[in-house]
Amino acid sequence: MRSDQIKKGIERIPHRALLHATGLSRKDLNRPFIGVASSFTDLIPGHIGMRDLERYIERGICYGGGVPFFFGVPGICDGIAMGHLGMCYPLALREIIADTLETVCNAHQLDGIVCLTNCDKITPGMLMAAARLNIPAVIVTAGPMLSGRLRQRKLAFVHDTYEAVAKAKKGEISAEELACLEMEACPGAGSCQGLYTANTMACITEAMGMSLTGCGTALAVSSKKRRIAQASGERIVELVKENITPSKIITKESLENAIVVDMALGGSSNTVLHLMAIAHEAGIKIELKDFDRISKNTPHITNLEPAGAHFMEDLEYAGGIPAVLKRLKGKLNNVMTLGGKKVFEIADKAEIYDEEVLRPFSRAYHKQGGIAVLSGNLAPDGAVVKQSAVSPKMMKFSGKARVFNREEEAMQAILDGKIKGGEVIVIRYEGPSGGPGMREMLAPTAAIVGMGLADSVALITDGRFSGGTKGPCIGHVSPEAASGGAIAVLKDGDIITIDIPNRKLEVKLSNLEIKKRFKTWKAVEPKIKTGYLSRYSRLVSSADKGAILI
């Protein structure tokens, strides 16, 4: 066992003394040492139930014959971090988590790792670490939140809070209803109820085979989730004994399966960044064009929040990810999962309980998958849009630019009624380096919807969007403004054309005019000059490369 490096031989007497100080018996030294990386925190609704799941993971490891060692990793709630300086940190946290797991597991030579995670950047950080370490690993996502209730109406976090802000500004919601939404939209533990980033990552983690069958959609409050947690603890010990490492699960084929499922569900555009980063750690080449290629050949078969009417609980009761695999079987690779079953075996045993939540291809909500990759003179290296959340009338759009150098400036203009139909809001210097941290633009996009402008105004940014975003919102514009991308020299009134069907994002300027503007362009001063974010901004790559550290 790997852990023999710290517990075998006469030269390890000091090490054993310290291990015995933790309460281990001599018998324990003959068992696999299993780390449990828990992201429990009181700060994140998706993580507050993890103390319970920790008990079941621990029970499973002990039943399996291993020795569990718990350690903590930090977590950030993207919703609470949204709209201020705090949103510079979540994407950067992904790297801290990966580095933390690498550091702890290698320093203590752990034999295997169970990663207890849930919300947005924490899950990809755990997966990046698993791929980098390449020791047996199981991912346990803590599960989605139940929908809230206002009388008989289902409530979802984004729709009924962020969009409600703008509606309140317009006087469309009473103070009484607003107070109720604030209290009831998020009724308890779990990741937010729609197909936002956390739940998208949970679903595709299961699809790529790195969590046990059923884990992706099992609700946070369910006993099913407890049973999965315990089974995950037992399974990690088996994986150690069988020497099944992430490199045997995370392959080009399994990552393609994850993208297929992502496109079919219409998941968060953030998964583009995360899957490329995971692939990078695994030594696998995944590019933007892979997402677009797969999307063009994968029908969008669900209609989940934020763009649709269904919730994660509906997907769970429709059969969960096994049912999705059944529907998509003909488009998937028959690879092994860490549960010991191949994808087709899981698909064949699954049942689809709701043909409306999981439509057949003949009645797909859209012929193509959830994400499209655009390019043109405004984004030579690419840009990303969640096309499944764009109305048909806005799939092609042209308008005058309204340019802002910070999210807050754009947000104020939207709420003050200064944005008019036919305009394209441009928010720049919010990319991986310029942000730094590539802030999510959920507040502005939700405000656009709340102000009734979703079908007359577009938004483009070198930042990114929450999985809760809907409408013609194009992010990940590369190169970013801070790196001298064309978005840096846009001016108010420039005509921007968005053509999603033909994958185009262009500004009506000649190459000569763009070069002329760059002659007088000066890069802006870094927004943050000290601490971790300062280091991050100097090391991070562009969005089209996954915003990895180089």
Query: To the nearest whole percent, how much of the chain has pLDDT over 70?
Result: 100
Lowest-pLDDT choice from 275-279, 333-337, 440-444, 510-514: 440-444
How many C-beta atoms lie closer than 10 Å to residue 455's C-beta?
16
Distance CA 351, CA 236 (A): 27
Lowest-pLDDT choice from 4-8, 170-174, 365-369, 425-429: 170-174
Does the pLDDT at position 170 exceed 90? no
Per-residue model confidence (pLDDT) at position 105: 98
Cα–Cα distances in angstroms (integers) from residue 511 to residues 149, 163, 299, 517, in the given order: 53, 39, 37, 10
Helix (H) or strand (E) segment spanning residue 374: strand 371-376
Distance CA 233, CA 402 (A): 52
> Judging by DSSP bridges, how do beta strands 458-461 and 371-376 pair with one another?
unpaired
- Token readout for 242 is 């069988």
Per-residue model confidence (pLDDT) at position 229: 98
Does the pLDDT at position 20 exceed 90? yes
Instruction: Give the mean pLDDT of 121-132.
Output: 98
Per-residue model confidence (pLDDT) at position 193: 94
Q: Which CATH superfamily is domain 374-545 in?
A: IlvD/EDD C-terminal domain-like (3.50.30.80)
Lowest-pLDDT choice from 34-43, 113-122, 168-177, 383-392: 168-177
Cα 321-385-355 angle, rounded to 5 deg? 30
Closest CA to 446 of 417, 476, 473: 473
Per-residue model confidence (pLDDT) at position 151: 85
Delimit the CATH 3.50.30.80 region(s) of the chain.
Answer: 374-545
How many C-beta atoms lie closer than 10 Å to residue 353's C-beta?
13
Q: Please, are residues 55 and 28 in contact by the beta-carbon 8 Å criterion? A: no
Q: How confident is the model at residue 264 (pLDDT cuts 50, 70, 90)?
A: very high
pTM: 0.96
Per-residue model confidence (pLDDT) at position 164: 84
CATH topology of domain 31-143+191-349: Rossmann fold (3.40.50)
Q: How confident is the model at residue 167 (pLDDT cuts 50, 70, 90)?
A: confident
Distance CA 217, CA 316 (A): 5
Question: Which neighbouring-strand residues pair with 33?
Answer: 67
Distance CA 257, CA 278 (A): 14
- Token readout for 540 is 């991070």
Q: How confident is the model at residue 176 (pLDDT cuts 50, 70, 90)?
A: confident
Q: How confident is the model at residue 358 (pLDDT cuts 50, 70, 90)?
A: very high
Delimit the CATH 3.40.50.2300 region(s) of the chain.
Answer: 31-143+191-349
Instruction: Give the mean pLDDT of 201-221.
Output: 98
Q: How confident is the model at residue 166 (pLDDT cuts 50, 70, 90)?
A: confident
Closest CA to 244 of 113, 346, 115, 69: 113
Closest CA to 258 of 323, 195, 204, 202: 204
**Burial of residue 54 (number of CB atoms within 10 Å: 0-12, 13-18, 19+):** buried
Per-residue model confidence (pLDDT) at position 306: 86
Instruction: Give the mean pLDDT of 395-420.
Output: 95
Per-residue model confidence (pLDDT) at position 543: 97
The rounded mean pLDDT for the chain is 96
Instruction: Give the mean pLDDT of 78-94.
Output: 94
Instruction: Give the mean pLDDT of 269-296.
Output: 97
For residue 215, the SS3 value is coil
Instruction: Give the mean pLDDT of 388-398.
Output: 94
3-state secondary structure 142-194: CCECCCEEECCEEECHHHHHHHHHHHHHCCCCCHHHHHHHHHHCCCCCCECCC
Query: To the nearest whole percent, how much of the chain has pLDDT over 90?
Result: 89
Q: How confident is the model at residue 278 (pLDDT cuts 50, 70, 90)?
A: very high
Q: What residues are labeled active site?
A: 466
Q: What are phi and psi of 170, to 5 degrees?
A: -90, -5
Closest CA to 479 of 383, 352, 347: 383
Q: How confident is the model at residue 294 (pLDDT cuts 50, 70, 90)?
A: very high
